[in-house]
Structure 1
Amino acid sequence: MRFSRMAAIAATFVLALTLGGCATTPGSTPTSEPAVSPSADATADGACAYPTSPRPAAKAVEVPPAEPTVTGEVSVTIATSAGDLNLTLDADKAPCAVNNFVSLAEQGYFDGTSCHRLTTSGIFVLQCGDPSGTGSGGPGYSFADELDPKETYPAGTVAMANAGPNTNGSQFFLVYQDAPGALAPAYTPFGTFDEASVKVVQDVAKAGLADDQVAPKTPVDISAVTVAP
């Protein structure tokens, strides 16, 4: 679902948060561009489904391979104008989400984009992954959630933003402060980022919001996303 800027901010203080763009965001809920909801059972025999969504891709990109190309822990570095963010993705817990992120990263999808949303009350997240910078852009396809009903989102969590069940695309969020119970278990967590990286995002949050009250006042521009071999 999508919220107006002010509504999105208010939503963050309610029960479940949607993360923006094609998804829902915490704080207002993390959301992302609308997509056709695939079957909740997105995988069969280890394969992932990435059906086309109604909205065109915000940036030209190929659909990820149906068979995940990575397993186990995957190290990723996101180089940003605010500092490097070091992620460890869990391809065993969320194979399709990690497969998607790695595919997008290796295609340069995130390069030259900016993290478009920061929440500083209720939920504490930085949201990235939308080349359009509007909160409604995505890769032109969607994929299903990979969730446990008991999911929690402590500081250091990397999770998919969405616009409702099974509408994941390219937008993701980084949780930089604990807020127990603030986010419903509706966002696929697919990795973590280290303590030094949490500090980078916390410093961005301390500077507050830009004039639009949505983006961070301190820009977080992504120059490259590198997946370790």
Structure 2
Amino acid sequence: MYRPRTDPLHDLHRSARRGRRRAPRRLLAVAPASHSAPVSSTAPAAAPPAAPSSPTARRGACVFSPSTGPAVKDVGTPPAQPPYTSTVKATLTTGLGDIGLGLDGRAAPCTVDSFAYLATKDFFDRTSCHRLTTGALKVIQCGDPTATGSGGPGYRYDEENLPKADPGKETATYHKGTLAMANAGPGTNGSQFFMVYGDSELPPNYTVFGEITSGMDILEQVARAGTDNANGEGDGAPKKRLTLQDVTIAGSQAKRL
């Protein structure tokens, strides 16, 4: 497999640490040799080292630290003690219909804590899913109020529930229906997340915090319409707009945090 000399994701993260413009939360796929990587003209030279699950999460507390850039929409910080310890049902109400989610509060308590907190604060309301990839990487990325890939809630936190790499590979398969967090490097989780509409290979560096339980046809409809290719062939803003009108946590499980 061709291995270029630079790692774009690492460079973005390094620039962010130096105080430059906040790095977009990009996902980098490692495609088979016969295909080009769908999100960049070059794939990473090596997958960034996977950060271990947050030790604070194992102790029952979450650490949310100020991010390097300003909050797009400052809604405060989630509680340090995660309120969810089992599956939490959530609904993305979109202009194309509802998408059902099952959030795994047991495996990814801090991520579910943050996602639910932002939902109860209406952080996601009236935001557009800003990125679609249609090559080897099949994801739709959402959760940025600026729709640029660089927006966030003003805090960051560590990865948890990272998948294991596939045997003999530096990548893991993120299966169709997976719900995971986008990031710009270790410890930079914020509000951006992605939904997988087709099995995809990625470095095992992205927190899996749930699954899509209904509405996959909506994601497939958006994918079929294609992308504007702003980031390269098969990578850019979706031509068929997917707007999150509301994100709700179901019934008695909803907590006004």
Which TM class, normalised by the smaller chain length?
A: 0.7 to 0.9
Q: Bigger CA drift: 138-147 or 149-158? A: 149-158
Report percent identity of matched pairs.
46
How many residue pairs are counted as aligned between the two chains?
Answer: 205
CA deviations 1:80-127 (Å, max 9, x no partner) are: 112211000000000000000000000000001100000000110000
Residue 65 of structure 2 aligns to a residue whose secondary structure is: coil
Runs (5+) with no aligned partner, structure 2 = 1-8, 14-24, 41-50, 165-171, 253-257
Q: Which amino acid in 2 is paired with 1:185?
A: P
Q: Is the 8 A contact 1:40 1:166 kept in 2?
A: no
Aligned counterpart for 1:74 among listed residues 88, 100, 123: 88
Aligned counterpart for 1:178 among listed residues 174, 199, 202: 199
What is the aligned partner in structure 1 of residue 212 from structure 2? 193
Aligned counterpart for 2:174 among listed residues 153, 175, 187: 153
Structure showing greater radius of gyration is: 2
Matches within 5 A, 1:1-229: 1=9, 2=12, 11-14=28-31, 27-28=38-39, 40-43=54-57, 45-150=59-164, 152-179=173-200, 182-194=201-213, 196-210=214-228, 212=230, 214-228=236-250, 229=252
Q: Is the 8 A contact 2:26 2:182 kept in 1?
A: no
Runs (5+) with no aligned partner, structure 1 = 16-25, 30-36
RMSD: 2.6
How many angstroms does 1:43 deviate by?
A: 2.9
Q: Which of the pair has the greater relative contact order for Cα pairs under 8 Å at 6+ separation?
A: 1
CA deviations 1:127-152 (Å, max 9, x no partner) are: 00000111000011100000345164
Residue 192 of structure 1 aligns to a residue whose secondary structure is: strand
How many angstroms does 1:12 deviate by?
A: 3.7
Residue 194 of structure 2 aligns to a residue whose secondary structure is: strand
Q: Which amino acid in 2 is paired with 1:77?
A: T
Q: Which amino acid in 2 is paired with 1:188?
A: T
CA distance in 1, matches of 2:163, 2:126: 35
Q: Is the 8 A contact 1:207 1:217 kept in 2?
A: yes
What is the aligned partner in structure 1 of residue 19 from structure 2? none
TM-score normalized by the length of structure 1: 0.81
* Deviation >6 Å, runs of 4+: none
CA distance in 2, matches of 1:90, 1:218: 29
TM-score normalized by the length of structure 2: 0.73
CA deviations 1:1-56 (Å, max 9, x no partner) are: 449xxxx99954558xxxxxxxxxx9538xxxxxxx9x953436300000001101
CA deviations 1:142-172 (Å, max 9, x no partner) are: 0000034516410000000001112100000
CA deviations 1:174-208 (Å, max 9, x no partner) are: 000113xx2111100000002x4211101100000
